[in-house]
Amino acid sequence: MRHAPLVGSVGLALVLAACGGSPAPPVPPTAAAPQPAPAGSQPAPAGPQPAAAVTAKDAAPAVPSRPEAQYDSKGRRDPFEPPAARAGAAGTSVASAKLTGIVQSAGTVLALVETPDGLGYILRPGDVLGDGRVIEIGRDNVVFSVAPRSGSTISRVVLRLAGD
């Protein structure tokens, strides 16, 4: 047991020596200096000379090209923007919408609202739907602040979940 530290040190030295760096990369061959041409011969054309034939092993495999993807966003709304209020009679009235569900998870509360035309919306506090903005989402209701029309004051509309 007296030789254990000595054997351990020698073993460690051998392992470190074996784990040494990889050998130096091979040096690329350098081009030989051009030989002067005999006096009576034609001069060699200037520019690069053709290389030796490339073997199939040296050639890189051809990568198939993919067609470029095309996307036309004309006529579609930006999914990262809240639904915009539509002007005039075509706009959605919050009072005519129906609350279909409330989703709560990890501090986030979402309201599932369906408009009379059958479109469903997932709303957060601060989102705009038609003529109203979501102020608060409760356990079974959503409170909207409805934009004032000319001559009226801001009003609140509360949508409640339908009772079972």
Question: For the segment 34-75, what is each residue's pLDDT rounded down to a tens digit?
Answer: 666 666 556 555 555 555 555 555 666 677 888 888 878 888
Domains, the chain: 90-160 (2.30.30.830)
**What are residue 90's phi and psi, to 5 degrees?**
-75, -15
The side-by-side arrangement of strands in the sheet containing 108-114 is 98-105, 108-114, 120-123
Q: What pLDDT shows up at residue 60?
A: 65
Task: Give the whole-number percent of the chain exceeding pLDDT 70.
Answer: 66
Mean pLDDT to the nearest integer, 147-154? 74
Which residue has better confidence, 33 or 131? 131
- pLDDT beyond 80 at 121: yes
Kindly indicate the confidence band of residue 125, based on its pLDDT and cuts at 50, 70 and 90.
very high
Q: What pLDDT shows up at residue 95?
A: 86
Tell me the pTM.
Answer: 0.45
